[in-house]
Structure 1
Amino acid sequence: MARFTFFGGKGGVGKTTVSAAFGLRCADAGQETLLVSTDPAHSTSDLFEQSFDDTPQSVEGYANLDAMEIDPEAEVEEHLMSIRREMAEQVSQVVVNEIDAQIEMAHNTPGAHEAALFDRLIRVMREEAPDYDRVVVDTAPTGNTLRLLSLPEFLGDWVDRLIEKREKSLDLYEKAAIGGEEPRKSAENDPIVARLRERKEKFEFAGETLREDAEFYLVLNPDELSVAETRRTLERLAENDLAVRGVVVNKVTPEPDPEEDGRGARYLREQCARERERIAEVEETFPVPVVATIETRSGEVKGDLLRDVAAELGIDVTADGDST
């Protein structure tokens, strides 16, 4: 059984509902389960009508189930403050002032949120996950998710290049400063190189965990745009050696009763016919199975309705996460 289960997909397809339902199913099966949301909408708090934050908390009314919500904005602030503190210990005050200016500009730089979230996710893997049998991650919308999951390999290569450049600069600086004497600094005792190597080890740990102890499912709706985007996501995840075990088709329109023949019923039948075509396309052309087809509920999916959704998920929670 993989410890980590990720649910991704386009914004608005119902990832939070599916993630929560699966987390509840794991908890009902007796597994100590942690539900983690990286979605800035804080939908998990809305779903359980309970406020969550960066620390795992018991979900009221549900045994074996804890939840936490990672705030991207707060993580970016903490991430940048950590960089500021570390750099302040290594460079002069003049350089620190320039670093402060650069950090302020970096706050809204593309990728800042992904890097900060990834750091926090690694901490979840290392610090919180050992206390649980299963960690279910409700990820942010597809584009952010792909960047998040592709970070280990990318950042590992990037850190390698930084270490190489730092080692060369130290060597040249010392040779220029003291000639042929024994250098005062080397890569072995340089704190910046040490920090870079620490970061590389974290990325390697994350990459190994994602590939060897994680499973991925994508949630989509039965419409043309959602199906097309999910197909592209499958291709890109495969490029990063992150195998998707299946897809969940959510928000499927219920069929009207046979005796209904009014305007609304005719509209619903046409809508259902279009959706069935999309579902058939997914089943026939996607390289992974459909593990659930979940109909739209008329009310908010909470309580017993959440357990109804959980029962429809064709994902085995006891045997390595394979579809049933």
Structure 2
Amino acid sequence: MQVYQPQKTNLTHYLFFTGKGGVGKTTTASATAINLADAGKQVMLVSTDPASNLQDVFKTDLTNKPQAIPGVAGLFAANFDPVVAAHEYRESVVGPYRGVLPAAAIKNMAEQLSGSCTVEIAAFNEFANFLTDPAVDQRFDYIIFDTAPTGHALRMLQLPAAWNNYLAENDRGASCLGQLAGMGDKKATYAKAVATLNNRELTTLMLVTRPQKASLLEAARAAKELAASGMHNQQLIINGTLKAPQDHASQAIFAQQQTDLRQMPAGLNKLVQYEVPLRAYNVTGVDKLRLVLQPTQPAVTTDPPLTDRYPNLNVIVADLIKTDKKIIFTMGKGGVGKTTVAVQLAKKLVAQHKTVHLATTDPADHLDFFKTADPAITISHIDEQQVLQDYQNEVLTVARQTMKAADVDYVAEDLRSPCTQEIAVFRAFANIVAQNDSDVVVIDTAPTGHTLLLLASTQSYAKEVKRTAGDVPQAIVDLLPRLQDPQQTEIVLVTLPETTPVYESMRLNEDLKRAKIAHTWWLVNQSMLATQTTHPCLQARAQNEVAWIEKVKAISADHFAVEQWQPDFEQVLLTI
């Protein structure tokens, strides 16, 4: 397998880095951008992830506009902030009519554009416009997109075709786009976006994975689905391969990696493959990013092994039992192990004589790996296509009872909007929270940014449900009050003992405070410190963990726990 070196790789004008949360998409995309810029190229790096951590990686505040990165000539970066995009989108529609239409009409237009779908449409429009902007195309040699974790990246990359098809069939101006949103212009933009994504001479999908089964399976799923959407030019980057195993811990990691790579899904074996070896340092800041893809690495220096004396997950479980929590979420950055922690919580609660409903809101749905015959655990998955179909059928059934045929056709057209899927999924989420078939509901959430958008949009989602369905189910009415009730709800913030996951958990902590959503506990997951490894690379990483564990301890006011590293995600799910 070749070592990944961007300047020796066949790269196209547009590069999309995608993969499972935590595989190193942002690191790999950022290191690629710096490598190419150092070679004299003009490079634009864009994050389309609502939970983007580009600002942490570069230690620079970023906006949704291109900004030069200090210390790297020729490199510009931007974060597509969905909230800012939504504000600009609303103003682009409403602004031209201020002072022209009556105030009541302006208020009505703004209200129509405050629904649940506006944020998604706005963020998507910004992405599509950037992808098709001739000025951007001509200014930069390479345009690199760092995407959200796979499930949401798939949706974003498939949206150009979805919206293009919807607008081609929409002759009434229905849906959340509204009649004044420039439908003709959107058709042209989306058609060009589809053509750009599907042009193998222009665009490459860089599938980033860890040498682990879960990451490889998700990469294979993304490769298959995006190939079906027309994105056939794909390459595979395997990040974090361990070299020269020595002690028990490193031998276990090495053996697991080699086994999973040998059993790689057949579809991935057809792709050009590259590897990035595991590094002993946290890859943040320009200096480390510049170093990570270099063939020569600095010597690793370590101190004697450290001792781990931190509390484990049992401390959190004891408190959940004592306070009799009814709703428990695991939240955090993609790849921190939220699913594993959710399963562990469920098993430990059952051991304390609780019945548990275990569910997920993540499109990637890693709960699918977990199988149990325990009658005390009920498992549910949100099948996005099924809940969409059920929602459409339900709304149309009600509409046919009270509406004329022409009006039913209007509703049917509205329901074909890609936004309807978001509403249907949200309603399914509310129903899970409202269930009463178990003592406790444990919910494994999607990566941070998308979870926050979901929770922050409860009221606007309710408006959309009322607009399309005619009434708002009690589960949606009760949702936000239940989430804000500390007697019922607990959110366990799951992080890793590393720079970016901790910073992202800190932002999530502040967002939850502003939303007045109950949260107390933090879990530092996958700690190498407890393994007492003597492998130089792993030992160096273990020593780097201490500062971040201590930071979490301080922020959480001692409401924290640490779980040690596990070699194989799926094996953990199958055995705990």
1:278 is aligned to: 260
1:272 maps to a residue whose letter is F
Q: Which residue of 1 aligns with 2:182?
A: 195
Asked if the contact 1:114–1:148 (Cα under 8 Å) also holds between the matched residues in 2, the reply is no
Q: Does 1:38 align with 2:33?
A: no
Aligned partners of 1:114 and 1:147 also within 8 Å:
no
The one-character-per-residue Cα deviations of 1:251-288 (angstroms, maximum 9, x if unpaired) are 2334334xxxxxxx112101211111112233855154
Question: CA 1:305–1:31 in structure 2 vs 1: closer, same or farther (change >3 Å)?
Answer: same
**Amino acid aligned to 1:292:** Y
- AA aligned to 1:202 is T
Name the structure 2 match of 1:13: 23
Q: Equivalent of 2:282, from 285, 300, 322?
A: 300
Change (3 A) 1:274 1:8: same
RMSD: 2.8
Q: In structure 1, the residue corresponding to 2:264 is in which secondary structure?
A: helix
Counterpart mapping for 1:53-132 below 5 A: 53-85=63-95, 96-104=106-114, 106=115, 108-109=116-117, 112-125=118-131, 126=133, 127-132=135-140
Cα deviation, residue 208, structure 1: 1.4
How far apart are residue 133 of structure 1 and its match? 0.9
Contact 1:34-1:56 at 8 Å conserved across structures: yes
Secondary structure of the structure 2 residue equivalent to 1:53: coil
- Choose from 145, 155, 158 the match for 1:147: 155
User: How is 1:216-295 mapped onto 2 (pairs within 5 angstroms)?
Assistant: 216-257=205-246, 265-282=247-264, 285-295=267-277
- 8 A Cα contact 2:44 2:140, kept in partner: yes
Q: Pick closer, same or farther for the CA change 1:292–1:114 going to 2, 3 Å.
A: farther
CA shift for structure 1 position 80: 3.1
Equivalents in 2 of 1:311, 1:244: separation in Å? 25
Counterpart residue identity of residue 245, structure 2: P
What code does the residue aligned with 1:273 have?
A: A
The residue aligned with 2:194 is 207
Structure 2 unpaired stretches of 5+? 1-10, 296-576
Q: Deviations over 1:39-80 (max 9, x none)?
A: 233322211222222222221111221212221221122223
- Higher deviation after alignment, 84-93 or 133-142: 84-93
Deviation at 1:34, TM superposition (A): 1.0
Aligned length: 277
Which gives a bigger RCO, structure 1 or 2 (Cα 8 Å, sep 6+)? 1
TM-score by length of 2: 0.44
2-side partners of 1:199 and 1:276: how far apart? 47
Task: List gaps (5 residues or longer) in structure 1.
Answer: 167-190, 258-264, 313-324
8 Å Cα contact 1:32-1:134 kept in structure 2: yes
In 1, the alpha carbon distance for the partners of 2:97 and 2:240 equals 49
3-state SS of 1:286 partner: helix
The structure-2 alpha-carbon separation of the partners of 1:282 and 1:311, relative to structure 1 and needing over 3 Å to count, comes to: farther
Equivalent positions of 1:140-179 (< 5 A) are 140-162=148-170, 164-165=171-172
Per-residue deviation, 1:13: 1.3
Q: Is the 8 A contact 2:90 2:110 kept in 1?
A: no
User: Corresponding residue for 2:59?
Assistant: 49
Amino acid aligned to 1:295: P
Cα deviation for residue 94 of structure 1 reads: 5.2
Contact 1:237/1:244 (<8 A) preserved? no
> Which residue is 2:292 aligned to?
309
CA shift at 1:219, angstroms? 0.8
| Matched position secondary structure for 2:46 | strand
Contact kept in structure 1, 2:197 and 2:230, CA below 8 Å: no
**Identical pairs, percent:** 27
CA contact 2:204–2:235 (8 Å) conserved in 1: no
- Structure 1 residues 87-96 or 222-231, which shifts more? 87-96
TM-score w.r.t. structure 1 length? 0.76
1:93 is displaced (CA, Å) by: 5.8
The one-letter amino acid paired with 1:119 is N
Change in Cα spacing, 1:273 to 1:113, as seen in structure 2 (3 Å) is: farther
